[in-house]
Structure 1
Amino acid sequence: MEKYIDVIKQTLELSETGLEGLQHMQAQIEEGFFEQSLTLFTDVLAAHFEIEKSVALFSENLPENKLSVISQQLNEAAVELAETYEKGERSALGDVLGIKVIPQYTEWKEELYRCLHPYVVA
């Protein structure tokens, strides 16, 4: 795992940035900046995809975890948010983001941290 230390550090940093992005999206939605929040959502999805690609490089070396299950749940919440954008249901965006996407992302990020952080401090 030593050869992946830089990737692990960047992965953990990017996961934190993704959460910050989702929180900023929530503020944008509350302020009525729906189009800008959609652009940010696209960026967060791209970051999540890149993190999953990175983790796949060394996933067999990780301790037992629930990353794939939580990630699937996060993907389902993200699809629901995307569908809400597509339908133009602006009043529901904040709820889907705040009740489903952010909590699911937070759970995924915490599991990711639990699995990867020991390699950074070792």
Structure 2
Amino acid sequence: MTKKERIENMTKIMTEDEMVVINNTIELMKTMEEGIDYVNKKFNELKVEETINMLIDLTEAFTTIEGAVSPLIVKFEENEIESKNEELKSALEILLKDLEQTNGKKAIDIMKLHLIPKFDAWKEEMTRVLKPYIVS
């Protein structure tokens, strides 16, 4: 079976609405990556207060993706989406807690050591799993 035939078979098991969810998820992940880059830049410029709204938006985007993709996980090939979701959620919580308690004194380290690596691993897994369903 060719790659094209395999993809056609996979898309047949997804409803049109599910395909929309997958495409929207890919787009929202790109937007999240831009947001993380923005937050990281602002932390490095020591402009912590300028990150709050973006971090709220990032958390809401992640929650939206998690909720939308969760019902589809059983249809995907073997994956680590749920564990990557938990790891990213934890990293976001660590950063938000630091901002609340210390006004972001450890934010640069948390971004570098926790959030960015967890986001990258999450995005890589999501892309690996979702990419076969994207019709170009």
Query: TM-score, normalising length from structure 1?
Result: 0.92
Is 1:42 the counterpart of 2:56 in the alignment? yes
State how far apart, in whole Å, the 1-side matches of 2:15 and 2:133 are. Answer: 8
Question: Shift of residue 16 of structure 1?
Answer: 1.4
Is 1:71 the counterpart of 2:85 in the alignment? yes
**Residues 29-108 of structure 1: pairs in structure 2 closer than 5 A:** 29-108=43-122
The answer on whether the counterparts of 1:16 and 1:109 sit within 8 Å (CA) in structure 2 is: no
State how far apart, in whole Å, the 2-side matches of 1:90 and 1:80 are. Answer: 11
Which structure's CA Rg is the greater one? Answer: 2
Compare 91-100 and 40-49 and name the one that shifted more. 91-100
Aligned-residue Cα RMSD (Å) equals 1.4
The answer on whether the counterparts of 1:81 and 1:97 sit within 8 Å (CA) in structure 2 is: yes
Q: Which runs of 5+ in 2 are unaligned?
A: 1-13
State how far apart, in whole Å, the 2-side matches of 1:33 and 1:39 are. Answer: 13
Match of 2:129 among 115, 118, 122: 115
State how far apart, in whole Å, the 2-side matches of 1:52 and 1:118 are. Answer: 19
The answer on whether the counterparts of 2:48 and 2:103 sit within 8 Å (CA) in structure 1 is: no
- Calculate percent identity across the aligned residue pairs: 28
Q: Which structure exhibits the higher relative contact order, with contacts defined as CA atoms closer than 8 Å and separated by 6 or more residues?
A: 1
The answer on whether the counterparts of 2:98 and 2:104 sit within 8 Å (CA) in structure 1 is: yes
State how far apart, in whole Å, the 1-side matches of 2:68 and 2:134 are. Answer: 15
State how far apart, in whole Å, the 2-side matches of 1:92 and 1:107 are. Answer: 22
1:44-100: CA deviation from partner (whole Å, max 9, x where unpaired)? 000000001110232210111001111111111111111110112433111101210
The answer on whether the counterparts of 1:19 and 1:102 sit within 8 Å (CA) in structure 2 is: no
The answer on whether the counterparts of 2:23 and 2:134 sit within 8 Å (CA) in structure 1 is: yes
Q: Which runs of 5+ in 1 are unaligned?
A: none
